[in-house]
A and B are shown apart, each in its own frame.
Chain A
């Protein structure tokens, strides 16, 4: 049982890591913990967990159909593991979807809010119903162990045939509807993948994959538990699968021909290579190999072919789910996304192993490898030695692995909810000039020539203060750039560090922050409460905040209001246009001329908005 223990150890490690990531995902949100974006709203979780997960669980309906509908009784021995795989597969899909949904607590809304036009609505309902069917199909197995459930079990066995038929119907619907999801995005999908018969292609490949998955699962568990491999039976299954896979290849190529897209097969882009690789791995190579009797009847070859087919179909689903979409190539899944997916799969595998060890899924039940840990070591006085298993038995090791991996996950996660591409700061410099001021904060040469003299001459009695609305403490001539420090972004006009430093103003916290309130900028005193000389006499400003708006906004706020007013009073519309100040017509002379007609202006109070 060393193989089982090793695998379980790895699975518990992965599950522990995923637990840490899962907690982070719900604490910090999707943006901080995944690489999903407005360009790629669906990522690895949809492509792998949902689309591939549902396809991988197709073994359930295929094998029950083969065994109970076509009455090929010899397949009976692989029905139970196949149904169990499907059952856990669908549970994993539903569980994994909870991480991807933005509002997972609303997942049940599909039950009460209906939109039958949506393929996703149909997929959701079918998965819900089929999960119920699978539960009823598998329930007789654990029910064998409890005599109290004998009547329920007998009833479920009696209705098995209708259950199987309903299960096949539901599977047909949602396996194909996963393809229908993409029918509505012809503008996203590459023409090699977009097809009006996507639902049919998805269904046929799911049937083929279902058989591959059963082969893969049967051989893997046979290796793991050292059971006798069911090679001859699986060879017959391979005999069925090859025809389905072959049919899939034919349908896909005929579909391309019918759509007139055959030239895409030799177009030579990376999509062409991807298409050929995908089709070869998922169908052409496995089908061809299964026609060779030597391959079909060999245990190793069967396992290899099945793995290849499974990988191919997963690749197909992930491709359709996002890889071959136009304009979405910049997305690569984050390690956190991969960890969650791996964790969900690992946990499903652990449950699978628990079920096969606990219940009669196969004819003979493998011994519980953890059973021995029930006996704690005891000191045997007769033999003068410790008997029993070592204290670090399997369960203790698994628990340790789980905890260590979870701790590692917490250590590795670095959520950055405010992750930003960043804004380039563009610092502002002193305006140049004297009589005519060239206002060009970022010195890029595109500025406004402001005739200072004429603005001076036509100001009212508090004229200066209407523009020079604030001075630094002790200063009489503070430049705009000293507070409005960035062209576009707001800047902080208050130097907190200097005020609090013992080498600066050396103020106590409570000198500015009112005691009893949270210490924030909004609840503190404002500059004007201490510095009474900040705002010159007659300035139409009140200081209510520490934040100075961006340079561009400050200049516009200062000029546009007056200009619009003047334009109305003078009847010169051009005076309020952007081009009056910006652009080539902005020579000092034209502005001077306009200014000579400027009447006296009543002063007006401007109140800056609260922080």
Chain B
């Protein structure tokens, strides 16, 4: 089972029941707008939000739980992990607060406890405990219109394609999250353009961690290569200097003999 969520923006009425349910389920304190918060409504205490789009549509924003997550690949201490059942979860006991995950996430999802003296990274964890126990996330449970539903990723993909094909006039012919950055567990079908979720840029279908793979794989070779080269150069130069010196010494010795 690959836990996944499918959000259908045509069905969302913007009631924000999912936002409230998320706060209850994860024990998140009330939040006030802060200097450090972004306009999208996500914060360390709001793990999901509804964005009011200028065209009157509502789009739910949350962690995409990528199949090959960027945050997991960049975390130097492995505080973020992709679980086998789908959710990307966070272990605050390992975290050292470098915030590389926040820089690297292509969707800009992780948020920080800026007001705390011992701050942690916060984001949606797809209600890992509930999903592991066989339940479903709080947000999909309360959605009154079925705009956001929970299920196995392959089944949800089938549903998504079916919806898009049945009503090609309503939907944009695309399932967001099917192939993007190697695929995500949180997917969208929509009647409005969702590229704003990535600041208007196309991310491509290649998983982000592939971009550092080459450089990281080269590390041992770079070290050994550099060290060997240096040792070699040192030996050659040393040898040359020795050879330059030897004839002098040799001739010097001969002179001595003559004397």
Chain A residues with CB under 8 Å of chain B are: 26-32, 36-39, 41-42, 65, 68-71, 100-104, 106-107, 109-110, 113-122, 124, 161, 164-166, 168-170, 172-173, 176-177, 180-181, 183-188, 196, 199, 326-327, 417-423, 578
Contact = CB atoms under 8 A, between A and B. Distances in A.
B201 A187 contact: yes
Nearest to A164: B230
B103 A420 contact: no
Query: Ordered nearest first, which 6 A-B pairs have the shortest CB separation?
Result: A102-B97, A31-B114, A37-B36, A121-B76, A106-B96, A41-B102
20 contacts: A29-B119, A31-B115, A37-B36, A38-B38, A69-B230, A69-B234, A70-B234, A101-B98, A102-B96, A103-B120, A106-B95, A106-B97, A115-B75, A117-B73, A117-B74, A118-B73, A120-B100, A177-B215, A187-B198, A420-B35
A106 to B, nearest CB: 4
A27 B117 contact: yes
Interface stretch (B150-158, B183-191, B204-212): B204-212
A29 B119 CA distance: 8
Interface in B84-102: 94-100, 102
Nearest to B104: A184
B43 to A, nearest CB: 7
Given A41-B112, A102-B112, A103-B118, A120 B74 contact: yes
Contacts of B226: 168-169, 172
A474 to B, nearest CB: 34
A3 B212 CA distance: 48
Contacts of B75: 115, 118
B211 A183 contact: yes
Contact of B70 (A29, A166, A184, A327): A184
A69 B6 CA distance: 60
B233 interface: yes
A186 B70 CA distance: 12
Contact of A28 (B103, B106, B117, B230): B117
Given A106-B95, A185-B103, A187-B203, A169 B77 contact: no
B61 to A, nearest CB: 13
A173 B103 contact: no
A124 to B, nearest CB: 6
Most buried by A among B99, B201, B213: B99
Interface stretch (B52-60, B170-178, B216-224, B250-258): B216-224
B146 interface: no
Interface of B: 13, 15, 32-38, 42-43, 70, 73-79, 94-100, 102-104, 106, 111-120, 198-199, 201, 203, 208-209, 211-216, 219, 222-224, 226-227, 230-231, 233-234, 237-238, 241
A114 B38 contact: no
Given A38-B43, A109-B96, A119 B74 contact: yes
A119 B222 CA distance: 14
Contacts of B13: 578
B76 A165 contact: no
A27 B117 CA distance: 7
A115 B77 contact: yes
Given A38-B37, A71-B237, A29 B117 contact: yes
A70 B233 contact: yes
Contacts of A65: 230
A188 B223 CA distance: 29
A420 B32 contact: yes
Most buried by B among A31, A110, A326, A422: A31
B70 A168 contact: no
B120 to A, nearest CB: 7
A113 B77 CA distance: 5
Nearest to A43: B99
A41 to B, nearest CB: 4
Contact of A169 (B103, B227, B237): B227
A417 B36 CA distance: 11
Contacts of B115: 29, 31-32, 417-418
B199 A168 contact: no
Nearest to A120: B76
Nearest to A28: B117
A180 B233 contact: no
A413 B95 CA distance: 28
B233 A69 contact: yes
Given A31-B115, A41-B112, A176 B222 contact: yes
Contact of B219 (A122, A184, A417, A578): A122
B78 A166 contact: no
Contacts of A37: 35-38, 114
B96 A177 contact: no
B120 A184 contact: no
Contact of B76 (A28, A69, A115): A115
B226 to A, nearest CB: 5
Contact of B222 (A36, A161, A172, A578): A172
Contact of B230 (A117, A118, A165, A199): A165
A136 B74 CA distance: 31
B96 A101 contact: yes
Contacts of A196: 211, 214
Contact of B36 (A38, A71, A122, A184): A38
Contacts of A164: 230
Contacts of B234: 68-71, 161, 165
Most buried by A among B74, B77, B111: B77
A161 B231 CA distance: 9
A167 B68 CA distance: 34
Contacts of B42: 38
Most buried by A among B42, B74, B199: B74
Contact of B241 (A71, A172, A177, A184): A71
Contacts of A29: 114-117, 119
A103 B99 CA distance: 10
A103 B97 contact: yes
B35 A30 contact: no
Contacts of B203: 187
Contacts of A161: 234
Most buried by A among B79, B100, B116, B224: B100
Most buried by B among A39, A164, A183, A578: A183
Given A29-B114, A187-B199, A187-B203, A36 B78 contact: no
A186 B114 CA distance: 26
Contacts of B241: 71
Given A42-B99, A122-B216, A177-B219, A184 B33 contact: no
Most buried by B among A37, A117, A124: A117
Contacts of A116: 216
A417 B203 CA distance: 36
A555 to B, nearest CB: 15
A166 B231 CA distance: 10
Contact of A30 (B94, B95, B100, B119): B119
A511 B88 CA distance: 53
Contact of B78 (A101, A113, A169, A422): A113
Contacts of B219: 122, 173, 177
A109 B94 contact: yes
Contacts of B43: 38
A186 B43 CA distance: 24
Given A109-B94, A115-B76, A419-B34, A38 B119 contact: no
Most buried by A among B104, B203, B211: B104
